[in-house]
Structures are given as C-alpha cells and as structure tokens.
C-alpha cells in the first residue's frame, strides 16, 4: 500500500498546480424554514413529465429524448433516468429501460439509484449552509471538531480547515486510502492511519481528489450540530426539499422496491455496501425525481432551504484541477477546470458549468448546470458506460442551439 501511495505521490507532484482562486459567473448568479414533512411537499406530476409536452422547451426536450433513447440502445444500457430543470420548474423527468436486464420492471422517475460522488455536492452545499446558520465557519480547523485528526506533519494537520477537506486541497496523494473504504473500514479508523502518508504540498496549494479526507466532514458535523451526518442531511435537505426517496444507507436502498440494480455490461450484479461508510463522499441513494428537487435548490429557487450566499460560497472555485483535464475533453471550447466545495466548475464555450460525476458499484451518474441561464440536468445509469461522459456536453450543445434559434437534430449517432 505504501508503494502505491508513493507512486501516486510522485505522479501528483508532477501534475499538481498551485493557484489563486478566481470568481466565475457560477458564483455571480443564483434562512432556514421550519421543518416540513417530506411527503407533504407538493410534487410535480411525474407521469406527465415523462413526455416533453408543448411548452417552450418542447423542441429541445423532444430532440434530447430521441438522442438519449437512441444512445441507450447503441450502448446497450439496461436502464437510466433523466431529469431536467429550468429555473424553478422540473420540465422533464423520465425513466428509460429496465431496472434489471432481462426483467420487466421499468425504470421511472422514482426509481432509486446510487449516485456515488454526486454525494459530495450535498456535503459541500450543506456545509456552506451550516456556515450561514452560524453553526461553524469553513475556515475552522478540522481539529476543532475532530481532535484526533493528524498527519505526518502535525503542524499541517493543525492548519487543515473544513474548506480544505471540501475543496480537495489537504496536500495528500490522490485517493489516499480509498481502497480501505472499499474494504469496509470506517472513516475514523482510516483517519488514524494518515500519519503514514507522505505529504505532497502545503494545504490549499494542490488539487488532489480524495474520498476518506472528504468524508471527515461528516465526523465534524456530529459535534458541531449534535446530530449524525445522515440526520442533518435529512433535516436540512431531504425533508424540506421533498426528496422522498433519498437516503444514505444500504438498507434503505435494498428495501426500496423501486430500485435499479447495478450491471456489468448486461449482467445484473449485487448491490454492495461500499461507501455507505463514507456517506459524504459517495453514500447517497436518490431517484431522478429527488435529483430534480435538488436541482431546484441548486439553481437558487429554494432560499428557505439553502440561501443564495451559501450556494455562491459552495460553487466558488478554490483551486485549478488541470490534472483532470481529460474529464472534460467532450466539452467544446474547454478553457479551464476548477474545484469548489464538492463541485467542479468548468469554463467552456457554453459559459461556466457547475458539475460533478459519480461512480460506485457500477452505477454512473452525472449532474451539470448553467446557473446564469437557470438550466440543469441530472442523469443516472445502472451501468458504467462511456455515454456518461458525452451525454451532458451533448445536452448543453443542444441547449445552446435551441437558445440561439438554431434547428436541432432529433439524433446524431456520430456524436456519441
């Protein structure tokens, strides 16, 4: 393991970058209400949203629906779900294919998937809102809430803040001890091993993607709020947003009768319990309907749940992530990539796109939004597929054409 860590260290040292954050249009655009019962929140008519209808967006939605249907078939994808939000309105929410290959149960807008690292965006926004609620400050040291946290350099450990955890800038090697999450170890026990790991850079100077370090934010939330991470997420986000099928446990996933099974190719496999021990980094389960409600929050239309200031803070770029440029080669005119608090911010031809990808247990997920235009999309797959890398740029390409009054192809198989 130490050999792996040292090799990662050497690689990242060559790729790393030292930067000064800058403000993008993702920041320039977007109180806590009394708790409401989840099921009491008014929900859209999900069945009606599975067809594009006749509204102003119908041309775009019809074209993208046809594109996605054809792409699903071409890639042999068992099942997926798409939700699109414009401003405060969920304009499209549809399931495609089946929950398990060879079965007749169809995916719909309420089918639950594992969303993997899309979970990080929840942790980032929640943490920013806790600052707005005067629960903590993001520049608070981690040791204030998690005193046993330390590193090979104890002085650097003392300087690591909540913001460093959430922005992936603690200075440690890429994916430090992620393998131990997958082996079932809890965050606290893995954190005790951090002094074994070489430090690549001072805090705040190097982007290095993490799961264990990121998940320590959950350990900090407990003493700060008196509740577990799952309880705070339920009380602050899921319940008031009406995200009625969102959860953070293995049991909730497998006990929901309308859940999608993961696949290797076209073969269903078992749902495993990896990353439920690291919920802030990758442990959330959600449906497309849930993610539509989440996008309404992210686009700034639920200030009683998450304030505009909290959103601006969560989406403010902290560090360049240019050692991940390969992730964005599908985006036309890609100029720069940054990491915020559990979010990527991509500068491209279409403006600033706030986005993230997720991958766990062979599920794949994508979320992206243009805050300036008030448009967002989330797609959930029950198989790992290259379509996940191209479906978001394709949506925004079509959206730009639609916005500019250009004709939209119903499909173009050469593009994916």
Per-residue pLDDT, 72: 96
Confidence at residue 329, expressed as pLDDT on a 0 to 100 scale: 75
Of 15-19, 132-136, 301-305, 322-326, the least confident: 15-19
Give the CA distances from residue 375 to residues 57, 111, 330, in Å, rounded to whole numbers and listed in that order: 11, 23, 19
Percent of the chain residues topping a pLDDT of 70: 83
pLDDT tens readout for residues 368-387: 999 999 999 999 999 999 99
pLDDT in tens, 108-122: 999 999 999 999 999
Q: Are 142 and 210 in contact (CB under 8 A)?
A: no
Buried b (16+ CB within 10 A) or exposed e, 369-406: bbbbbbbbbbbbbbbbbebbbbbbbbbbbbbbbbeeee
Q: Indicate if the pLDDT at residue 324 is higher than 70.
A: no
DSSP 75-91: HT--EEEEEEEETTEEE
| Confidence band, pLDDT 50/70/90 cuts, at residue 6 | very low
Q: What pLDDT does residue 16 have? A: 37
Q: Is the pLDDT of residue 167 over 60?
A: yes
Would you say residue 38 has pLDDT above 60?
no
pLDDT the model gives residue 40:
41
pLDDT reading at 340 higher than 50: yes
> What average pLDDT does the segment 189-198 reach?
96
261-280 confidence digits (pLDDT tens): 999 999 999 999 999 999 99
* pLDDT beyond 90 at 363: yes
Examine the pLDDT at 19 and tell me if it is beyond 50: no
- Does residue 394 register a pLDDT over 80? yes
Instruction: Return the CA Rg of the chain.
Output: 20
Residue 415 has pLDDT above 60, yes or no: no
Please, are residues 365 and 118 in contact by the beta-carbon 8 Å criterion?
Answer: yes
| Cα 178 to Cα 278: distance, rounded to the nearest angstrom | 10
Give the residue from 162, 159, 157, 165 showing the smallest Cα distance to 131: 162
Quick one: which H or E segment has residue 217? Answer: helix 212-225
Under a CB-based contact definition with an 8 Å cutoff, are residues 348 and 370 in contact? no
122-166 confidence digits (pLDDT tens):
999 999 999 999 999 999 999 999 999 999 999 999 999 999 999
pLDDT digit string, tens, across residues 86-116:
999 999 999 999 999 999 999 999 999 999 9
pLDDT at 48: 58
Q: Based on DSSP, count helices (H) and strands (E) in the chain, helices before strands.
A: 16, 12
pLDDT given for residue 404 in this prediction: 85
Query: Could you tell me the domains of the chain?
Result: 2-415 (3.40.710.10)
């Amino acid at each position: 393991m130490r050999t792996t860590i040292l090799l990662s260290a050497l690689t990242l040292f060559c790729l790393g970058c030292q930067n000064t954050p800058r403000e993008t249009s993702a920041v320039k655009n977007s109180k806590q209400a009394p708790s409401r019962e989840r099921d009491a929140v008014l929900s859209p008519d999900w069945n009606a949203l599975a067809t594009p209808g006749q509204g102003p967006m119908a041309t775009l939605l019809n074209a993208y629906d046809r594109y996605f249907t054809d792409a699903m078939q071409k890639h042999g994808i068992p099942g997926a779900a798409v939700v699109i939000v414009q401003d405060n309105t969920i304009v499209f929410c549809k399931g495609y294919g089946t929950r398990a290959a060879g079965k007749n149960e169809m995916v719909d807008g309420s089918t639950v998937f594992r969303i993997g690292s899309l979970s990080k965006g929840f942790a980032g926004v929640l943490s920013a809102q806790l600052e707005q609620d005067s629960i903590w400050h993001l520049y608070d040291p981690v040791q204030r809430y998690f005193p046993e946290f330390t590193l090979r350099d104890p002085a650097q450990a003392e300087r690591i803040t909540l913001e460093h955890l959430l922005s992936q800038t603690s200075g440690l090697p890429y994916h430090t001890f992620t393998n131990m999450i997958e082996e079932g170890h809890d965050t606290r026990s893995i954190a005790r091993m951090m002094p074994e790991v070489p430090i690549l850079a001072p805090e705040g100077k190097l982007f290095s993607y993490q799961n264990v370090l990121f998940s320590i934010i959950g350990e900090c939330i407990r003493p700060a709020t008196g509740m577990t991470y799952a309880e705070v997420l339920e009380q602050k986000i899921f319940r008031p947003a009406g995200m009625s099928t969102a959860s953070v446990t293995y049991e909730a996933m497998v006990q929901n009768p309308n859940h999608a099974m993961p696949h290797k190719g076209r073969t269903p496999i078992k749902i495993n319990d990896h990353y439920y021990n690291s919920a802030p980094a990758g442990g959330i389960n959600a449906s497309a309907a849930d993610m539509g409600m989440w996008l309404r929050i992210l686009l700034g239309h639920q200030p009683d749940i998450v304030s505009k200031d909290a959103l601006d803070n969560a989406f403010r770029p902290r560090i360049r992530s240019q050692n991940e440029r390969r992730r964005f080669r599908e985006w036309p005119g890609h100029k720069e990539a940054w990491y915020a608090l559990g979010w990527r911010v991509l500068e491209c031809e279409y403006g600033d796109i706030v986005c993230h990808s997720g991958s766990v247990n062979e599920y794949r997920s994508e979320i992206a939004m243009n805050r300036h235009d008030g448009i967002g999309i989330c797609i959930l797959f029950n198989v790992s597929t290259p379509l996940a890398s191209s479906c978001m740029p394709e949506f925004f390409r079509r959206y730009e054409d639609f916005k500019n009054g250009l004709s939209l192809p119903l499909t173009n198989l050469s593009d994916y």
